Structure 1
Amino acid sequence: MKKLEGSEVARHNNRRSCWIALYGKVYDITDFLDAHPGGQQVLLRSAGQDGTAEYESVHSPDLVEETLPSTSFRGVVDSDTIPKAQSTTKHRPQQKRKAPFPPLRSMISVNDFEAIAKLYLSPAGWAYYSSGADDERSRYEAARAFCKLVLRPRVLRNVDQIDTRTTILGKNSSMPVYVSPSGLGKYAHPDAECAFASGAGKEGLIQVIPTSPSMPIEKIINSRVSESQPVFFQLYFNRDLQKAEALIRRVEKLGVSAIWLTVDSPVLGKRERDDRLKAQVSTGFFISKEDEFGTLEEQQPGVAKVASSGLLNPRLTWDDIAWIRQVTRLPLVLKGIQSVEDALLAYEKGVEGIVLSNHGGRSQDTAQAPMVTLLEIRRYAPHLINSRMEVFLDGEIRRGTDILKALALGVRAVGLGRPFLFSLTGGYGEAGFRRMVQILREELEGNMALAGATRISELVPEMVNTQRLDKEVIGSIKL
């Protein structure tokens, strides 16, 4: 392995010849500059320098070798002999932190953790986690939809013992809740996805590992409490079929129990909070002699765009489902179904599950709330409920009553993404995650008892009055 001098690496610091050092390894990324989804300026800031700090704030350590060809590797270098790239984080205004953060026993609701997260996270972290697309109406409509559903409790039933156990794709779960895949977990806590893996195992839940986690997939898998602990894997379908197959084979070998294919993000939604923050710390506009009104420089991409580098695939179609079926026998779930028509197509394709989701309101703003999609399915294709295809739902789940309503209307389990990320902040880590799970468990158990149900199978549609939300279901559909 060739050992390079720092001075040699430093010479390759421009568009014509761009080298970058990551974790002591040097890569020639000249030919990759134009292909980088986050724009070439992101990479040129680190040209001829050690870009590890900036890189690992967004990407998993192993992503670089998965993305670049082996011919890009130039050798190793002593990181102390080359300058460190200036991280954009140093230009961000410092958040006001209250120390120490409240003890976990004072966390009473899921929303309490969000308040802590807003204090703890960097501006970039908060913008990435909390933002939705455009005006963020889809995100808040999802929460409003739950409020428009009201419960119809049954009384005088023996509810002394409550059982929240269920199965998800045949795997046991202590509660009908799973950990949704979420990127950039290290903004919340250094242990990130590993804390989820360990905590989920201890609480009897199932984690869906994101395609591009903030740490190696192998490390996350090894953080489980036992080899029998089930985990699922979210797949963004790579345009390069060889890379897509290699990733599937890799996670198969690691022992994941199902593939959750994300289908609601062929392109990246416009995350304005993220973009505004970048605009504030970038040069933005400059005045030139040629243009007294100023010339718009290349816009600096937000964290979301950089983090999604190479993940999104606008060419993904229903035909690719058959290809995935040929590659793996793992159960397949389509994450991001937003209409009854697509729910029916998924059923016809024989997938094992669908997630009613609009990507947490982060892809297309004003896309209807997942709960409205569920009512749409109940009206026009009720045979899909409790069928061989399991139905899941995510988006703005915050209360035990939210979980109960979704289950009563036919959902197998619900996923939480942002809230679980928030639970890690404030230095809480795995303990914070487990505290949030316990809060949800207590709320679900209590509300099941109040509704008159002792087990999940006793939660039935008649326990939910949907009339106010039914009005938002599309009036007629040609199926």
Structure 2
Amino acid sequence: MEGAGRRRQNAIYRAGVLGRRPAVPTDFAELERRAKKASSTTGWAYVAGGAGEGRTMRANRAAFDRWAIVPRMLRDVAERDLGQDLLGTRLTAPVLLAPVGAGQLIAADADLHTARAAAAAGVPYIFTNQGGTAMEETAAAMGAAPRWVQLYWSTDEALVDSLIHRAEAIDAGALVVTLDTTVLGWRPQDLNLGSLPFAKGLGIAQYTSDPRFQELVASRKPNKSGKTEVTIKAIQALIEITRNHPGRFWANLRSPKPRASVETFLDIYSNPRLSWDHIATLRERTRLPIVLKGILHPDDAKRAFDEGIDAIVVSNHGGRQVDNAIASLDALVRIRDAVGPVPKILMDSGIRTGADVFVAVALGADAVLLGRPYMYGLAIAGQRGIEEVIANVIAELDLTMALTGVKNLSEVSRELLVPNPA
């Protein structure tokens, strides 16, 4: 019986006989190196960068290094099942694509490339709230394939409701509320370049396509605080804002709406006052399963489940928000021990390979979110690059399960791990 791992290996090796190589490298180090080469300076800073001195990013990887897999032998693993039921969605493997904002910095139509790749690979895609394409168009690109939708809680409650209703209308499988970005973290790579994609109209298409947001823009009073300094860079930024706004370029250039949209977004997109009181209103506002993303403390996890939340994502935002924060994998262990085996827990931040997925599942994750690796595949080879990254991660997970002596995810347990003596 040929599993996902052998199918992927055989496809690569057979193509190799014809002189063809994979579109993207199969190891993460080379994937990252080539993606950096293919990306713009500002794109790479935004996607690959982290908070502060990068200690949380390094901690995410060091946490995986502290565990070693102990393979078991002679267990007849010819037939393996990587499937998992999660919030009404049947996963073919315990992998979803994480929401990554402002993907236009890496490739035009990044959201559409990602949606089509996810559909082709059979994994759910969590639409980013900070995308370059409206969720309706992105959903259409996926057909009937599963999708979830991320929500950044705006300071305008009517906009929150509008985004939720749109997520329901496109048959989202869950609403993923991001908790850890009520303000942007200190990100030196972006700060040193003076680069914020949203200030140039990138990554705000969920807003400019929203009827409530359009009302807010229309009601915005003109800025009369004084003249804006005119520089070459300011003119270039205005052109970018105009180009990134929906509609025809020349009509946008004569309109105040593109700039007003950017200013409105920057004013309201996230809510520093977000609290458990806000979360408590969600059951009355949506029929969708509710997922809270950004949980790192066991007490927050317990409260989430006590409040009736359907699942959480243990995440430190890929190390992009708080420097020197706890590694997501370390937090996963503490949270799973605290809440027990039943609640649904996903995990992201630091996942690079199929072996990483195996370790995360063994330590209590029901599934993981893949982030930077697929964005690097996008940078190198577009949709095909994303598809190959997904295939490589799932293939290595399948082979790791086979070589470790397990047939399905329920057999992937902490008993197969030991603290790494290295």
What TM-score does the superposition give when structure 1 sets the normalisation length? 0.67
Q: Does 1:252 align with 2:174?
A: no
Shift of 1:306: 9.0
CA distances 1:86-123 after superposition (whole Å, capped 9, x unpaired): xxxxxxxxxxxxxxxx9535622233322121111111
Aligned with residue 347 of structure 1, among 297, 305, 321: 305
Residue aligning to 2:341: 386
User: 2-side partners of 1:307 and 1:214: how far apart?
Assistant: 16
User: 2-side partners of 1:468 and 1:193: how far apart?
Assistant: 42
Show the 5 A alignment for 1:371-450. Answer: 371-379=329-337, 381=338, 384-387=339-342, 389-426=343-380, 428-450=381-403
Contact 1:191/1:429 (CA < 8 Å) preserved in 2? Answer: no
Paired letter, 2:180: D
Q: Does 1:209 align with 2:127?
A: yes
User: 2-side partners of 1:186 and 1:456: how far apart?
Assistant: 35
Contact 1:385/1:410 (CA < 8 Å) preserved in 2? Answer: no
Unmatched tracts of structure 2, length 5 or more: 1-19, 196-233, 241-261
Shift of 1:321: 1.2
Residue aligning to 1:337: 295
Show the 5 A alignment for 1:211-230. Answer: 211-224=129-142, 226-227=143-144, 229-230=145-146
Unmatched tracts of structure 1, length 5 or more: 1-101, 280-299, 470-479
Residue aligned with 2:375, SS: helix
Residue aligning to 2:27: 109
Contact 1:111/1:398 (CA < 8 Å) preserved in 2? Answer: no
User: 1-side partners of 2:394 and 2:265: how far apart?
Assistant: 33
Shift of 1:467: 7.3
Show the 5 A alignment for 1:25-36. Answer: none
Shift of 1:206: 0.3
Paired letter, 1:322: A
Distance 1:390 1:417, change over 3 A: same
User: 1-side partners of 2:391 and 2:35: how far apart?
Assistant: 19
Shift of 1:162: 2.2
User: 1-side partners of 2:141 and 2:50: how far apart?
Assistant: 31
**Structure with larger RCO (C-alpha < 8 A, sep 6+):** 2
Paired letter, 1:439: N
Contact 1:385/1:411 (CA < 8 Å) preserved in 2? Answer: no
Residue aligning to 1:94: none
Residue aligning to 1:78: none
Residue aligned with 2:287, SS: coil
Paired letter, 1:386: P
CA distances 1:222-275 after superposition (whole Å, capped 9, x unpaired): 101x33x21100000111111110111112112111100001122110000111
User: 1-side partners of 2:397 and 2:38: how far apart?
Assistant: 28
CA distances 1:120-166 after superposition (whole Å, capped 9, x unpaired): 11110011011111101001100110011111221111111222121
Show the 5 A alignment for 1:15-414. Answer: 104-105=22-23, 107-224=25-142, 226-227=143-144, 229-278=145-194, 309=266, 310-379=268-337, 381=338, 384-387=339-342, 389-414=343-368
Shift of 1:278: 2.1
Paired letter, 1:247: L
Residue aligned with 2:75, SS: coil
User: 2-side partners of 1:258 and 1:316: how far apart?
Assistant: 20
Contact 1:235/1:262 (CA < 8 Å) preserved in 2? Answer: yes
Q: How many residues align?
A: 339
Aligned with residue 416 of structure 2, among 439, 463, 468: 463
Paired letter, 1:330: L
User: 2-side partners of 1:386 and 1:223: how far apart?
Assistant: 36
User: 2-side partners of 1:145 and 1:116: how far apart?
Assistant: 25
Shift of 1:439: 0.8
User: 2-side partners of 1:307 and 1:138: how far apart?
Assistant: 31
What TM-score does the superposition give when structure 2 sets the normalisation length? 0.76
Contact 1:110/1:439 (CA < 8 Å) preserved in 2? Answer: no
Contact 2:167/2:175 (CA < 8 Å) preserved in 1? Answer: no
Paired letter, 1:346: A
Distance 1:356 1:308, change over 3 A: farther
RMSD after superposition: 2.3
Shift of 1:411: 0.6
User: 2-side partners of 1:446 and 1:159: how far apart?
Assistant: 10
Paired letter, 2:352: R
Shift of 1:468: 7.0
Shift of 1:331: 0.4
Distance 1:208 1:272, change over 3 A: same
User: 2-side partners of 1:306 and 1:150: how far apart?
Assistant: 49
Shift of 1:308: 7.6
Contact 1:110/1:436 (CA < 8 Å) preserved in 2? Answer: no
Contact 2:40/2:106 (CA < 8 Å) preserved in 1? Answer: no
The farther-off stretch of 443-452 and 306-315 is: 306-315
Contact 2:150/2:177 (CA < 8 Å) preserved in 1? Answer: yes
User: 1-side partners of 2:190 and 2:46: how far apart?
Assistant: 6
Residue aligned with 1:326, SS: helix
User: 1-side partners of 2:419 and 2:341: how far apart?
Assistant: 19
Contact 2:333/2:364 (CA < 8 Å) preserved in 1? Answer: no
Is the radius of gyration larger for structure 1 or structure 2? 1
Paired letter, 2:139: I
Paired letter, 1:402: D
Residue aligned with 2:293, SS: strand
Paired letter, 2:402: A
